[in-house]
Amino acid sequence: MSGGADALPDYELLELVLFRAIPRQDVKPLARRLIDKFGDYNGVLSANPRELSKLHGVGDAVIVELKIVEAAAQRLARSRVMERHAVTSWDALIAYCRTVMAHREVEQFRILFLDRRNVLIADEEQARGTVDHVPVYPREVVKRALELNASAVILVHNHPSGDPTPSDSDIVMTRRIDEAAAALGITVHDHIIVGRSGELSFRATGHL
């Protein structure tokens, strides 16, 4: 309580969560196994329930507790960006995208919709695909922006491989969305790729 979350290493924070699901037991060995298996605290929270259940000592109570914490983390991160100016809350926006998408096992494509003041008015998952591909249709992106009366969008998707480097298809798809949006007066501010090793901005790297 005095040191805050930063005072605890990942495995100790995970121990506190596990103790709620498995009271009156030493949960340190399980916390260590989870960290070893999934990499870090965020990886454990984001892990697929099916993969979690394969680990000795992980039952339904543990999975439910982990998923409750994951949902709370996502909602907290989302509350820090919704109805906020995208530029002035950029770090929080990136943190939200990382929280929601960095550890996903399949590609997910999200769209952040902005109004004329660049305030975030909606955040929606547009498509979900495989481990290395997600189908995205420029017509659907623009159609949804018009329905929400959005003036601009930020595109976001993840790379389950962990490497945020854009593929050729990522670049082509982004240009097609940008062209379709521009024809109707909608601005594509950026396309962010989220990976475990970091994030990449199309705008910052000259791809947009």
List the one residue out of 70, 75, 22, 17 whose CA is nearest residue 48: 70
Q: Please compute the mean of the pLDDT values over residues 139-152 and round it to a whole number.
A: 94
| Residue 131 pLDDT greater than 70, yes or no | no
Q: Global pTM?
A: 0.74
Tally Cβ neighbours within 10 Å of residue 102.
21
Distances from the Cα of 113 to the Cαs of 101, 116, 184, 196, in angstroms? 17, 10, 15, 24
Backbone torsions φ then ψ of 199, nearest 5 degrees: -125, 155
| Tens-place pLDDT, residues 77-123 | 878 777 777 777 788 888 888 888 888 888 888 999 999 999 999 98
What φ, ψ does residue 117 adopt, rounded to 5°?
-95, 10
Same fold, 9-76 and 83-201: no
Instruction: Answer yes or no: are the C-beta atoms of 156 and 173 closer than 8 Å.
Output: no
Residues of the chain above pLDDT 70, percent: 97
The hierarchical CATH code for the domain 83-201 is 3.40.140.10
Q: In the prediction, which pLDDT does 130 show?
A: 54
pLDDT over 70 (residue 30): yes
9-76 to CATH, choices 1.10.150, 1.10.10, 3.30.420, 1.20.120: 1.10.150
67 confidence band (pLDDT: 50, 70, 90): very high
How much is the mean pLDDT over the chain? Answer: 88
Confidence category of residue 129, pLDDT binned at 50, 70, 90: low
Banded pLDDT at 175 (limits 50, 70, 90): very high
Extents of the domains making up the chain: 9-76, 83-201
The count of residues in the chain is: 208
Region of 135 please: left (phi>0), alpha (psi -120 to 50) or beta: beta
46-58: b (≥16 Cβ within 10 Å) or e = bbeeeebeebeeb
The C-alpha atoms of residue 41 and residue 54 are separated, in whole angstroms, by 18
- Cα-Cα-Cα-Cα torsion 181, 190, 154, 101, nearest 10 degrees, comes to 140
Is 99 exposed, middle or buried (CB count within 10 Å of its CB: 0-12, 13-18, 19+)?
buried
